[in-house]
Structure 1
């Protein structure tokens, strides 16, 4: 295990100019996150220097088996908090080999709207509040809950402190710091109403960068819970009964005072991007 840990934390810059780029995209369900890694000859900070790549869409619910190739286009670069150094996370969206966006590529049309000059003049600011639950791996029951039973009623858990109120704070804090390292504009975290439930906030971020940052923050959280052996749930109703649900609340502010038709489209696409 010591050797494995040494290799995982090995600083590649000591022996090679090559870096690892983790290409990340949204799968066929609209909420599942997929990724795979590739080597690049050196550090990259310019999107135009990143190659397109491909994957088997029949394995993600995004293409038929007889014509399964999907092409991923890099759209945003973040620092990799897991491999560190010059290694990067690359958020991508998905296209057919002929260059058409596949049906699950919601970012394509959203980007066209965000690029509209009228919307750029409005300077749309977003603050996203992402709630989630942490579940025990083998039983899919919230972290900190007695197996087959329930904790005390809601009340003391929201922003709570203490071993009997806050479950999974180490995961939450690791995620917070990893997002800051990656360059995500994460602005805070807090315990939520249901025990084992937490929230992080991203923003204010301008335009489509807000959804890009939220998706990468979700990816980083998935990776951290993977390491911790805990299951991450964005289920809006993770537990039936008198327990708090989860969502991604969207706060929106624009510079212009009028409400244009394009602005209405903007809000619609924001909801689509964040709440499939």
Structure 2
């Protein structure tokens, strides 16, 4: 992200009733479908649907039902409950009917799922409870239908091991953290793969495209692969109410990035997880595979990260650059703890090449994309602003990363000896 701007004052997502955006199937259309079934049938290798002619041309019965807006006919809505599965990176979901539109997660009932089927509970005691935590408008169903980001608990009310949101919420509710109003801007990189061969989109099967250079932020059939997916995702996130702030093609062909933020506290994690779910659904519909692997192709190709821009109230005010330096010192002392929490397979990405720092060393610099922590030129010039943590991998858990940044810079205090030693080491590397 180029800079951290002021976040919306509407920190808690609210859902408002929307106008009908799709035309329901009329009785005349149904009559046409029923009475003209002797017409030609459209065949597909995977399924077959009835297609008939009407005043408006060809009607696909399945497509019309998918686009059917139920808002004018019922108060009921469809809520898609979303949660994180047993790998800690997979998103799961299922739907239920709610009797009326809602504007806050507290209006929704808790639900449950079979944890033995997601690797989160044993078969003999498989029930896991979903707690609704954030709601977004559903870009797939439209109307008043919603997406519901949930976290998971045992029937006794204890967070299950893969529930990282619970601990993050505790950190963000700490008075010291709340007073500093932490802002986050997260840059989510991802790679699109061809379905059957699991090779990047636009790459010749079993071969390689030309070297990196022409693809970053490029246009053209020989340089940009998957733009429609990126654009569809961008609009769907805006519709949903996700605080998406931009998107661009990345350095490796078939790789893209979008930015979410600035977001305050726990909202950052909720918005990233909702945006990932929407991206999974769009790639599903497009017949393309999404991967968040931090190094999908070995060799002289960029990996995929999730750079996290971070600032506190004190960093954004006059004299903030000194606060940023103190935060960087704390981060240097907890480098190993952060690396362990920043995503699986990150050692394949953080090699010191391809715009990364070595996973074994901590460094920081102004406008240096080869450092662990980058500080922007404007931050140095203005004496206040934000820092960018370039270490998180594309498959990191945003609840973990955002909470850990707040904990390390606002709640954790090093010993004087460790602080002095770290200051000396950092001074030598800058």
User: TM-score, normalized by length of structure 2?
Assistant: 0.61
Partner of 1:242: 300
Deviations 1:30-51 (A, max 9, x none): 1000000000001011221100
Q: Secondary structure at the match of 2:237?
A: helix
Write the mapping of 1:73-88 to structure 2, written as runs, cut at 5 A.
Answer: 73-88=131-146
Q: Offset of 1:91 from its aligned partner?
A: 0.1
Residue 129 (str. 1) matches residue 253 (str. 2):
no
What pairs up with 1:53-132 in 2 under 5 angstroms? 53-132=111-190
Please list the CA deviations of residues 136-176 of structure 1 after superposition, one character each: whole Å capped at 9, or x if unmatched: 00110100011111100100000011000000100000000
Aligned counterparts of 1:33 and 1:125: Cα–Cα separation in 2: 25
Contact 2:89-2:397 within 8 A present in 1 as well:
no
Match of 2:407 in 1: none
Taking the aligned partners of 1:229 and 1:59, their CA distance within structure 2 comes to: 25
CA–CA separation in structure 1 for the residues paired with 2:301 and 2:235: 29
- Secondary structure at the aligned position of 2:71 is classed as helix
5+ residue gaps, structure 1, are none
Counterpart of 1:190 in structure 2 is 248
Q: What is the rounded CA distance, in whole Å, between the counterparts of 2:152 and 2:71 in structure 1?
A: 31
Tell me by how many angstroms 1:240 deviates: 1.3
> Which residue is equivalent to 2:397?
273
Structure 1 SS opposite 2:253: coil
Q: Structure 1, residues 163-218: CA drift from partner, whole Å, max 9, x if none?
A: 00000100000000000000011000000010000000000000010111001000
RMSD: 1.9
Deviations 1:44-101 (A, max 9, x none): 1122110000000011111111111000000000000000100000000000000000
5+ residue gaps, structure 2, are: 1-48, 50-59, 316-322, 343-391, 402-430
Contact 1:121 1:256 in 2 (8 A): no
**Which residue, out of 29, 51, 73, partners 2:109?**
51
Q: Determine if the alignment matches structure 1 residue 255 to structure 2 residue 379.
A: no
Q: 1:158 aligns with which of 187, 193, 216?
A: 216
SS in 2 for 1:219: helix
Residue 273 of structure 1 and its aligned partner are, at CA, apart by 3.2
In the alignment, is residue 180 of structure 1 matched against residue 304 of structure 2? Answer: no
Greater relative CO, 1 or 2 (CA 8 Å, sep 6+): 1
Q: TM-score, normalised by structure 1?
A: 0.95
- Which of 264, 269, 273 is the equivalent residue of 1:215? 273
SS of residue in 2 equivalent to 1:14: coil
Q: 1:128: Cα distance to partner?
A: 0.1
2:104/2:134 contact within 8 Å kept: no
SS at match of 1:241: coil
Partner of 1:41: 99
Secondary structure class of the residue paired with 1:98: coil
Select which of 128, 144, 147 maps to 2:205.
Answer: 147
- 1:13 Cα deviation from its structure 2 partner: 1.0
1 CA distance for matches of 2:159 and 2:178? Answer: 23
Q: Deviations over 1:197-243 (max 9, x none)?
A: 00000000000101110010000000000000000000001111111
1:118, CA displacement in angstroms? 1.0
Whichever structure has more strand as a proportion of its residues is: 1
User: Whose radius of gyration is greater, 1 or 2?
Assistant: 2
